[in-house]
Chain A
Amino acid sequence: MIKQGFTLIEILIALLAASIISIMSFDYLSNSVFLKERVEQNINLNNKHFNAINILRLDLMQSVPFQMKDTTGRDLNVSFIGGKDDQILKFITLNSSDTSNSYSKLRRVTYIYKDNTLSRQTTLVNKEDKILSNRLLLEDIDNLEFKYGQEPENLSNEWPNTNSAENMNAPEYILMEYTLGNNKYTQLFSTF
């Protein structure tokens, strides 16, 4: 008589072995999944934060000394405005990724801080009502303050801060202080 199938002992041994391995690896596996979620969560938060800072840094890196006009075509005689109402930064930058056939690559960039959110708006250089893009950069950002100046030791809350010709240009140093997720941050920018 030919013996077929497994004995109960064999099946139990196989199940026992599989259970031991599963229990041992479950802990490691669940840790890995938990770690992946945490890393993703942190990366997303940091990405959003650092992307916002890097976007501002890139804009300043590509800024140009374009003398702006207001909506009525009146000369403002400034190429950089800082700290006016909720429009905390306003200047002209070279949008290198723009391949439009109708407009130049120059864009007026306005950073707006309103209701604890920081957003970036781009318009045509002398047509502020012609909005080309509007992007929310950071939410739940508190105590945001900008300071501007030609020397890091001598910064003021507005730019231009005097009527001298020197201040018609962009400030050399821009200090940004804010609170995000209970952490206080300070960033120093330069228009290079």
Chain B
Amino acid sequence: MRKGFVLISTLALIVILSFLILVISRLIYNDTIKSTVYTSSIEKRIELINSEKLFTNTLLNNSELLKNLTFAESQLNIFANTKYENLDIELYDMTNCFNLNTLVKPFRSIYVKNEDNGLFFENLLLINNIDRTKHRELIDRLYDALDSDRLPEPFGAEDLFYTTQDELSLNPDQLFLHKSQIKNLAMLTTSELEMIYKNICALPDNDVVFNINELNNENYQVLLSIYPELSLKDIETIIISKPIEGYQNFSNLLELTNITAFKLTEDYLTFEPKYLQILYKVKYEDTFFNLLSIITLESRNNNIIRRSIST
């Protein structure tokens, strides 16, 4: 009994000391891991940037795949996973958002307002139930912020206003680089902004275009703003009638949907994405890291529009 006590107390001491050493070792390990994960995430993103050319060229070389982006995405993931095991790529068509820069058009060496596209944007505001009294003022402010003439719109204001507003940080006379720049105009409330935010974007382009093969329940409002004669039934028909390989051209679209050319014209339609958002999700040490690239598919060189580390 007494000998047992001596043995137990000695063993207990060994266990306590071992436990202490284990705890300290664990702390050292955790500190080391924490510091390397962040650094590695940056390195992995840079590695992805270096491989991005390969991914975009693969897409461009197989442009037929782009008529069905879901299919293109799965093919690209199969290809990418041969090089990166823990990488997941998501593709989003950026063609189907309302590009705010289409509110101006090039005229000689400057940009002037584009009233036709202004009407489309007004339609989008109407569809989203944005306060009607704000439409004219918002559009005029957008014209004045984007155009490079010196003519103030009736409800807008030219550069002097934009540069003297202390609390605003406006960039008169150049195209928007990010859709969040609409916030600088201080016109829409948070809830109004939320309503249209998912359907607007800022791309270096002045032409309105919509990829009919990527029409869905999230972007149909943009199509409705360009073609206000279309009904929700027509939208449904276009989505349901789409073949797996996508609509090939305008006549194929009319033939398969029976929509009259009066409602839908070829002018603003495309059958492949013009701009893509590529979202890379990398898993490292049980944590996901994102890299987001917006690219144009119209050229092979310098096709990056911008990059971001989060969505």
Stretch in A43-51, A154-162, A174-182 with 4+ CB within 8 Å of B: A43-51
A39 touches B309 (CB 8 A): no
B28 touches A66 (CB 8 A): no
B-chain residues with CB within 8 Å of residue A58 when the two chains form the complex = 42, 309
B46 touches A101 (CB 8 A): no
B186 touches A102 (CB 8 A): yes
A-chain residues with CB within 8 Å of residue B171 when the two chains form the complex = 66-67, 69, 125-126
- B184 contacts the other chain (Cβ, under 8 Å)? yes
A-chain residues with CB within 8 Å of residue B155 when the two chains form the complex = none
Across the two chains, which residue of chain A brings its CB closest to B21? A32
Closest-CB distance, B4 to chain A (whole angstroms): 11
What is the number of residues of chain A that contact chain B, defined by CB distance less than 8 Å? 52
A14 touches B6 (CB 8 A): yes
Instruction: Give how many A-B residue pairs fall within 8 Å (CB-CB).
Output: 131
Give the one of A17, A50, A61, A124 with max B CB within 10 A: A61
B49 touches A61 (CB 8 A): yes
B-chain residues with CB within 8 Å of residue A21 when the two chains form the complex = 10, 13-14, 17
> In the complex, which of the residues B17, B166, B304 contacts A192, with contact meaning CB atoms closer than 8 Å?
B304
Chain B positions within 8 Å of A, measured between CB atoms, are 2-3, 5-6, 9-10, 13-14, 17, 20-21, 24-25, 27-28, 31-32, 35, 38-39, 42, 45-46, 49, 159, 163-164, 166-167, 169-171, 173-174, 177-178, 180-184, 186, 190, 193, 304, 306-310
Chain A positions within 8 Å of B, measured between CB atoms, are 6, 10, 13-14, 17-18, 21-22, 25, 28-29, 32-33, 35-36, 39-40, 43, 46-47, 50-51, 54, 57-58, 61-62, 64-67, 69, 72-73, 75, 92, 94, 96-97, 100-106, 124-127, 130, 192
Q: 29 A-B Cβ contacts within 8 A?
A: A6-B2, A14-B5, A17-B6, A17-B10, A18-B10, A21-B13, A21-B17, A25-B17, A28-B21, A29-B17, A32-B21, A32-B25, A36-B24, A40-B31, A43-B32, A46-B35, A50-B39, A61-B49, A62-B306, A66-B174, A69-B171, A73-B163, A94-B177, A94-B307, A102-B183, A106-B178, A126-B171, A130-B169, A192-B307
